[in-house]
Structure formats: C-alpha cells, structure tokens
Structure 1
Amino acid sequence: MSAGPEIRTIFWDVGGVLLTNGWDIDQRGRVLTALGVDLAAYEAVHDEVNFFWERGLISARDFFERTVLETNPQLALTFEQLWKLVCDESKMLHPECFEMIAHLRRAGSYRLATLNNESKELNRHRIDSFHLRRFFDYFICSGYIHEMKPLPEIYRAAIDISGFAAETAIFIDDKAENCDAARSFGMIPIHFQSPAQLRVSLAQLGIAI
C-alpha cells in the first residue's frame, strides 16, 4: 500500500479505457471508406479542423460539413445520416473496467470523474448511450474546457473542479504522454494497459477491488 496522502478523486479517461475511441483514425477509416470518401484527402484537413471541434469551438455539424460533406457532394449525404454512423462507432471496450467503477461507486469512498479529449456532441452521446451518469460524479471534457490533454489547462481545470489537492487524485489513461502531464501536476497517474493491470495498480495504492 502506498504511504501517500488519502485518495479523494479518481479520474478516468474514456476512449481506450472504458469505450472505444470516438472519432479516431480507426473509426473514421471504417466509416469514410464505406462511404467512398477519399481518406487521404480527409486526413489532410482533419487535424486542422479537429483542433477546433474537440475544444468545443465549432459544432459537429460545422466539423463534418468542412471535412466531409462540402468536399464530397457526390455522397448526397445529410449531416444527420453521417452523425448516426459516427455515433454507431462507439462501443464498450472493457466491461471489467465498468465493473470496477460500479464497485467503487457502491463503496462511496471516492469521487469519480472522467477526464477526456472529446467534442461536446460525442461526449454527450456517449454519456447518454452508455449511462455514464450512474457511475460518475462529473465529467471533465476538452469540448467544455476548450483545451486538450496533455496540455496543462485541462488538468488544472480538473483539479480545481474536484475541490481537492492534486496529490489526492488518481488519473487513469491509456496514453503515456497524458499520464506524464498528470504527474507534472502532482496527480498519481496509472498508465492503463489492461483491466487486470489496472486492478493491480489500484491495489498498490490501497484501493482493492
């Protein structure tokens, strides 16, 4: 057991830990290839427009009009039709992680929150579709904070919103660079690799599930 301060908050990444990613390269590859979109042309503009979308500075409609609909008029596709295909890509990734969160929720010893990079619209869809409100006390999302991991502002916001000191927070993420950034703020990072590894890492911090 760690001899550190008492843990008060556990922050969870969503895509890659609990659910599949929302609109990562695999998801957009499947959807856009099936539609006949030129993937190379799409990827050439994705990062520039995504910078604004995942920070909540443009809407999903704006994002897909700029990256898909306006550049592929031959599709005769509406935003609503495309958005359904995007949302359908979200799946549960690790049921065992949900079991751990449910256990922690029942115990009631910790505040549970998400801390993820995602657009407002996808975040809302995933919260509703996977009933995440029954597990988490609050949601820290780049689409609302207007900054993305691993940049410092989103971690600072998470710590401030939690109301507890950074050293009392665990942060679980599947990307090493995001864990490194959390550590620089004094949080306790766990680099997620599997549910079994996560269970062991939590036990080493005195959280047996």
Structure 2
Amino acid sequence: MNGSIRTLFWDIGGVILTNGWDRNQRKRVLSRLGVDMEAYEEAHERANYYWERGLITAKEFFAQTVLTPNPELDLTFEIVWPQVCAESKVLHPECLDMLAELKGQGRYRIATLNNESRELNGYRLDAFKMRSLFDYFICSGSVHEMKPMPGIYRSAVDISGFEARTALFIDDKEENCEAARAVGMNAIRFESPQQLCLALADYDVHVSSLEMV
C-alpha cells in the first residue's frame, strides 16, 4: 500500500460537517413550522430519491413534500430553505485542518464523494469555505447516482484519471466503504479525526496536525 495513493476521496456529512438533511434535522425544522412529520416522512422517501440524484430541484422537492401538502401553513420556499441550510454545522474542525494540510502537501488529488442534493452541497461548500480544499467534487446531485451503488464509485475512478487501486475513500458508513472496495478502491471507515490520522498513515498518507493528540 505504501506510496501508492494518488487520490483521496472524502465524504462530507458525518466526517467533516453534520449531515445535510437527516431525520433529526427534518424534525427540528419542520415541527417548528407546524408540518405533520408522519405525512412529511412518507413524501420525503418518495421525493428524496430524485432530489439527491439531481433529478429535481430543491424548490420542486419542498413543493412536493412541504408546501403543496400544507397550504394552510402559508409557507414558501424562501421561508423553509434558510432554515434547512442553518442545520449544517462543522462536525470535526480537525478534519478541515487535515484537509488543508494534505492540500498544501501537493502529493494527492483531493475530491469529495458524497450523497447530497446539488443545492445543499453547493451551499455547504461555500458556507464553510471548503471549495479551496478540494481539486474537484463528485456529488450524487451532479452525477445522478448515489452511494453505495457502484456507478458513483466507478465515475469517481474514471474522473480521477488513475487506477482504482490508487484511490483512498473516507466515509463514516461501512456499507459505503465496502462498496468502494468492491470496485477496487481502498477505503477507511471514519470514526474520529484521531483514528483517521492513524489509518491514513497505514497508506503512507501523513498529517502532522494531529500528531500531538
């Protein structure tokens, strides 16, 4: 493994930031707005398939799941969307430090590989000033496929321009890591910044930002 890694692919939600629009976030925002959560979750399951694959827009998604089913609440996309975005926070600032250091080393191509709608992904990259930390971005909302389906990993490898065995993928879900390994990529299941730092060293990828921890 030593010295063979050319590209580092990072998940975002659960590794660097909080998730984008998970069940707890939905409950906090929509309950506050008076939305019936049981009815919403049924609509969410149907519409989210298309939203996270970039097949419908955020406005279309929330029209289908929140606005049209709840006309009595007099909600608009302009009311709902900022509250959705406000749910995103930095989960592990140490990972941002690690990314900055790895980018500065210039030894690797660094990319995202995440499941997220196009709009929410764009907001999060801008709001947390992450665009400069990556060379390119592979998001389900742009490539129209989601982890753990093999197509998104194959797209990542093809876009990288290198062989799958030279790619290292970091994700907090084991099923996503297993899917990456199935197409020939290396993968680390993220548990903590400290654990990730040690796991990266096994691939001869070194960061000094956590050496003192």
Equivalent AA in structure 1 for residue 10 of structure 2: W
Deviations 1:120-140 (A, max 9, x none): 100111111111111000000
Deviations 1:142-187 (A, max 9, x none): 0111010000111011000000111000000001100000000111
CA RMSD of aligned residues (A): 0.9
Query: Which residue pairs with 1:23 in the alignment?
Result: 21
| 1:202 maps to which of 197, 200, 204 | 200
Query: Which residue pairs with 2:186 in the alignment?
Result: 188
Structure 2 CA distance for aligned equivalents of residues 8 and 26 of structure 1 = 36
| 1:34 maps to which of 32, 35, 41 | 32
In structure 1, list runs of 5 or more residues that go unmatched: none
Equivalent AA in structure 1 for residue 114 of structure 2: N
Structure 2 CA distance for aligned equivalents of residues 26 and 185 of structure 1 = 32
Query: Which residue pairs with 2:156 in the alignment?
Result: 158
Equivalent AA in structure 1 for residue 118 of structure 2: K
After TM superposition, the score normalised by the length of structure 2 is 0.95
Equivalent AA in structure 2 for residue 160 of structure 1: D
Number of residue-to-residue matches in the alignment: 207
Equivalent AA in structure 2 for residue 130 of structure 1: F
Deviations 1:96-144 (A, max 9, x none): 0001101101111000000000011001111111111110000000011
Equivalent AA in structure 2 for residue 170 of structure 1: L
Equivalent AA in structure 2 for residue 32 of structure 1: L
- Superposed, 1:162-177 pairs within 5 Å as 162-177=160-175
- Superposed, 1:78-97 pairs within 5 Å as 78-97=76-95
Identity fraction in percent? 61
In structure 2, list runs of 5 or more residues that go unmatched: 208-213
Structure 2 CA distance for aligned equivalents of residues 30 and 37 of structure 1 = 10
Structure 2 CA distance for aligned equivalents of residues 81 and 41 of structure 1 = 20
Structure 2 CA distance for aligned equivalents of residues 64 and 12 of structure 1 = 28
Structure 2 CA distance for aligned equivalents of residues 80 and 45 of structure 1 = 20
Equivalent AA in structure 1 for residue 117 of structure 2: S
| 2:72 maps to which of 74, 86, 94 | 74
SS at match of 2:100: helix
SS at match of 2:154: helix
Query: Which residue pairs with 2:135 in the alignment?
Result: 137
Structure 2 CA distance for aligned equivalents of residues 44 and 123 of structure 1 = 23
SS at match of 2:205: coil
Q: Which 4+ runs in 1 deviate beyond 4 A?
A: none
Structure 1 CA distance for aligned equivalents of residues 149 and 108 of structure 2 = 25
Equivalent AA in structure 2 for residue 187 of structure 1: M
After TM superposition, the score normalised by the length of structure 1 is 0.97
Structure 1 CA distance for aligned equivalents of residues 53 and 100 of structure 2 = 29
Equivalent AA in structure 2 for residue 54 of structure 1: E
